[in-house]
Structure 1
Amino acid sequence: MVATVLKLRYRVLGNTLARRPWQLVGFILSSLWGLGVLGGLVAGFIALAVFQDLEAATVVAVLGGSLLILGWLVGPIIIAGVDSTVDATRLAPFPLTRRQVMLALAGTGLTGIPGIVTTIAALATLIVWARWPLAAVIAVPAVLAGVLTCVLASRLMAELSGGMGGRRSREIIGTAVLIVLIMTGPILTGIVALLDQAGGDLWTRLQQAADILAWTPLGAAWAVAPSVAAGDAWAALTSAGIAIATLVVLWVVWDRVLEAAVSSPRQRATRAVAAGKLGLFGVMPTGGVGATWARSLSAWLRDPRYLRQLIVIPLFPVLFAFTGGTDGFMFLVSPVLAALVMAAVGYADVSFDGTAFGTTLATGISGRADRLGRLLGAACVGIPLIALIAVATAVFSGDAAHLPAVLGASLGVLLAGYGACAVSSALIVTPVPSPGDSPFKSTPGQNSIMGLLVFVVWAVVLVLSLPAIVPAIVNAVTGEQMWGWIALAAGVVFGAVVVVVGILVGGRTLERTGPDLLVRIKSFPT
């Protein structure tokens, strides 16, 4: 039955390539790329076997294998790297046991281009261990276990990011990986700093990393052969045990995830609530402003496309704390940078409505009410968040004297951004991800010109917030406390003026451009 599924998979692939010439070209190019990678790896393994000693071979094998598993683990989230021609949901109606489904999915992973390249590359490492015959023999099942770990981890992550019966887990995992990727630089910086304190050159640090990874699920399978070559039977058995335990855990967890995925619907079409429970709509004032306010605030609190911004924004001070310390200048001004990013989130806010923007136009709500409601929803979240970051950075940096200047500049930038976006979002719509999409997914219809528009908005925001930024800079240079309070007052007052002007101008603009925005949104490819 598993062989039948694999045959059907390749028949579907062949028919698809025959009908779509450009996809065939892509398939050929990816195959050539895989052959090129294999050629380079084999050449490197030969050079390693001839010119380097066991210590160098161990470091390369463990670090390279660990990075390989990590790439397979993260790949399904960052890119659409897992072939979805055959998945658990499509196989659910057929008379297959869950074990057969898992074997079929693992088989498709192993027999795809990435799986074939990985398997051949892993077996090519036998060249490195040719000088130690016993290690070369032991390396065969060990590296195959490493390859199987890659496939199982990839399939598990693909199933998790696919939803487990809904899109919520996909959104959570995608956001978590986004945070990890953003913090990769600071984390590596911190690790390097710790290694610097421990002493030693780069090679010593790589050896230390390999020694640690050899006792983890990432590097255990790749550390078996080096341990055998070194004559360390205990280390080899321990690494083999960790590798086998990793496979068992991955298989069991994947089995549970598949059971949940095929026994429940991907999304709930409806959700029952108690009568009269309207959420924020029952709390906010009635009318166009109140309804738009409730809808906007609901989006900021529940839509993952907004929530990701709220999660990433507080990482700015953490980022600068890692790289420059809490006493650095960048850590102190990080609230201003966070406000600048936060200010531009809604520069094309109507785009997130999608075709549902048509219902807004159908209600006949005034442009001014729409602009004010959206701004209030964003401000309910943005202003407390930026103020909290400003206060927290002042406390941790031990420089509370500059808090008024930092807070004034931050609020000035944020309010200027709200005013500017009230106008820009009445003029600009751009393709955006759907609510359940990965944050790394490329959006059809997006181009470089649309991507540059956010920088134009940022430039406008910086110009409009100069009345608050300039006194804050003077405060930082001279240390005069008065300038800090001037910055705070200017940020609030001039920011409020920009907000009012933005609502008036943006509202009038939206009433003129609204139908055209809806037409452009409908024209975006899906």
Structure 2
Amino acid sequence: MVAQLVRLKLTLMANTLRRSVWQTIGIIAGGAYGLFLVALAVAGAVAGGTVDPVTTGAVLVVVGAVVVLAWCVVPVFAYGVDATLDPHRFVTYGIPRRSLLAGLTVAGVVSVPGLTTALAALGVAFAWWRSPAALVAALVGAVLAVALCVVGSRAVTTALAPLLESRRSREVLAVAALVPLMLVGPAFGWFAQRASGFAVDGDATGPVLRDLAAVVAWTPLGAPWGFAAAVHDGAWGSAAGRLGVGLLTLALAAAVWDRALRRTLETPSTSGSSGARGKGLGMLGRLPATPTGAVAARALTYWRRDPRYSASMAVIPLLPVVMIFAGQGAGPGASVVVLMLAPLTAWVLGFSISNDIAYDHTAFALHVATGTAGRADRWGRALPVLLIGTPLVSAYAVVSTAVTGSWGALPALLGLSLGTLALSTGVSSAVAVRWLYPVAKPGESPLKQPQGATGATMLAQAVCSGLTLLLSAPALTLALLAMLLPSPVLGWVTLVVAPALGVLVLVLGVRWGAATYDRRAPELLQRVQSYA
């Protein structure tokens, strides 16, 4: 049964390669990136183990614990990211539960993240190549860690399946997941800054890291990684204790998964709802009863209720935190980093509609069936961005100048931000009818990345970013000159020129996008339906 499930997983992965070129490119790119990370991790571990095995062991314990934690936590927030062997699909088959559990465990490694983790765990074990006993212990710990990653991940997601069956719960968790993901960078930056401070004060980074690793090595997350370090130090009691903690954690996770799997197979949950009570027309009753107003009302409803859109909006309030933390580590250029907040937010908001048609999914057929004009479609999608973005980027421009004390740069910064918002929206309105790529379907986690979408997403982002940067070059040059000279006159000139340039690009982008939409609407519908 184990071999059968592994073959099934490999067959499903092979079939995804035949579905489209983008899926093939996405898997190959993901695999290549994973191999690069593995090579980087193994080379660093082996080099560090040769120079200072004690500190290297401490780093492996801390980083390894984070990897195990990520395996257990990320699937909860990104529910449905990899459901090719969802236990619900085996409910009607008479497969012994223990055989199914073992097969799902081994098959769980057969994926880009699983193979990357397994190769990295086995590769970094050779950091202990100078000590044969520690090397053997590291290999045993690596196998235990990978098993804990897979079994722990399955145990957590299967145990929480009743909660995650609720669409609203999945949406809230998916949006909430963006908060720690956005703060990972600032947290690492803060830790690096603190570590460098320790080093300057007396080379105390090593002892602090070793003390942290000594504690983490006794936790369920770090015990498999701390086994080899204890063997290297000749602390056989600690080695046995850490191995025991790892094995006990694996056994406990397997027991939780087994019990949750039995519940899933014997009493599968059924999703259903009593239906929502009508509360009027919502945004449709507040905007003009025109085709453009109808599209704009639906777009605003998406921004408010669809987690794939609200997840993007959840990122916006976190950008000031990220930029402030980044500014603290930028030294003399801290003010410049913080002042980038408003233009960056404007670009993000404008880019958010660059694939709106794909987010419509099958609902886009309504546009084609009713003969919605391209002008109404393009303006209906652009207006909500401008309505939300104008006060937001204006407020961010004022906040960033207040934080940095650069009040003289406010006119230039405000002009650049408003111009970027209009310009980016215009570029996205044009690009959106030329480059479509797969996105998470309605009801799925907004963190889900469909296979094959990586290459197309990167292409669309590159095109939008390149065109936006190219077209905003005059306004950007004026703003930089106004802030660097500094020149109040150029600042006020930028406040006039940048929005005017942005409005011009917006009008031209919407017109070109509308003409392309009218010409290619059936082709766009066919492309969207191919993603279903």
**TM-score, normalised with respect to structure 1:** 0.72
List per-residue Cα deviations over 1:98-153 (Å, max 9, x = no partner).
88865664465489985987998899999877669xx98x9999777544422222
Give the aligned partner of residue 484 of structure 2: 477
Q: 1:374 aligns with which of 364, 381, 386?
A: 381
Q: Does 1:193 align with 2:193?
A: yes
Q: Does 1:66 align with 2:62?
A: no
Q: Does 1:441 align with 2:444?
A: no
Question: Which aligned pairs between 1:410-449 and structure 2 lie closer than 5 A?
Answer: 410-425=417-432, 427-435=433-441, 436=444, 439=447, 441-444=449-452
1:445–1:525 Cα contact (<8 Å) kept: no
Give the aligned partner of residue 91 of structure 2: 92
List per-residue Cα deviations over 1:365-422 (Å, max 9, x = no partner).
3332222221222223333332333233223323333233212211111012223333
Give the aligned partner of residue 403 of structure 1: 410
Q: 2:5 aligns with which of 9, 13, 30?
A: 9
Code of the aligned partner of 1:387 = S
Residues 451/75 of structure 1: CA separation in 2 closer, same or farther (3 Å cut): same
Residues 480/238 of structure 1: CA separation in 2 closer, same or farther (3 Å cut): farther
Unmatched segments (≥5 aa) in structure 2: 20-26
Code of the aligned partner of 2:223 = A
List per-residue Cα deviations over 1:194-244 (Å, max 9, x = no partner).
011112287667545533532544313332564476476886687568657
Partner Cα separation in structure 2 for residue 366 and residue 21 of structure 1: 36
Question: Which aligned pairs between 1:126-141 and structure 2 lie closer than 5 A?
Answer: none
Code of the aligned partner of 1:513 = R
Partner Cα separation in structure 2 for residue 192 and residue 379 of structure 1: 38
Larger radius of gyration: 1
Question: Which aligned pairs between 1:289-304 and structure 2 lie closer than 5 A?
Answer: 289-304=292-307
Give the aligned partner of residue 283 of structure 2: 280
Partner Cα separation in structure 1 for residue 60 and residue 182 of structure 2: 27
**TM-score, normalised with respect to structure 2:** 0.72
Partner Cα separation in structure 2 for residue 339 and residue 100 of structure 1: 53
Question: Which aligned pairs between 1:217-232 and structure 2 lie closer than 5 A?
Answer: 217-224=220-227, 226-227=229-230, 230=233
Partner Cα separation in structure 2 for residue 264 and residue 284 of structure 1: 44
Tell me the percent identity.
Answer: 28
Give the aligned partner of residue 371 of structure 2: 364
2:311–2:446 Cα contact (<8 Å) kept: no
Residues 419/240 of structure 1: CA separation in 2 closer, same or farther (3 Å cut): same
Code of the aligned partner of 1:434 = A
SS of corresponding position for 1:432: coil
Residues 98/410 of structure 1: CA separation in 2 closer, same or farther (3 Å cut): farther
1:72–1:150 Cα contact (<8 Å) kept: yes
Give the aligned partner of residue 152 of structure 2: 153
Residues 479/365 of structure 1: CA separation in 2 closer, same or farther (3 Å cut): same
SS of corresponding position for 1:328: helix
SS of corresponding position for 1:187: helix
Code of the aligned partner of 1:419 = G
SS of corresponding position for 2:164: coil
Residues 286/265 of structure 1: CA separation in 2 closer, same or farther (3 Å cut): farther
Partner Cα separation in structure 1 for residue 514 and residue 423 of structure 2: 16
Residues 225/365 of structure 1: CA separation in 2 closer, same or farther (3 Å cut): closer
Partner Cα separation in structure 2 for residue 123 and residue 463 of structure 1: 48
2:349–2:385 Cα contact (<8 Å) kept: no
Partner Cα separation in structure 1 for residue 254 and residue 491 of structure 2: 59
Larger deviation, residues 356-365 vs 200-209: 200-209
2:138–2:228 Cα contact (<8 Å) kept: yes
Partner Cα separation in structure 2 for residue 81 and residue 354 of structure 1: 18
Question: Which aligned pairs between 1:255-270 and structure 2 lie closer than 5 A?
Answer: 268=272
Query: How far has the Cα of 1:317 moved from its partner?
Result: 4.0
Aligned-residue CA RMSD in angstroms?
5.2
Partner Cα separation in structure 1 for residue 12 and residue 350 of structure 2: 44
Between the two structures, name the one with larger relative contact order (CA 8 Å, sep ≥ 6): 2
Residues 359/480 of structure 1: CA separation in 2 closer, same or farther (3 Å cut): same
Partner Cα separation in structure 2 for residue 20 and residue 395 of structure 1: 51
1:186–1:322 Cα contact (<8 Å) kept: yes
Question: How many matched pairs?
Answer: 503
SS of corresponding position for 2:340: helix
Query: How far has the Cα of 1:474 moved from its partner?
Result: 3.3
Larger deviation, residues 368-377 vs 429-438: 429-438
Unmatched segments (≥5 aa) in structure 1: none
Larger deviation, residues 487-496 vs 90-99: 90-99
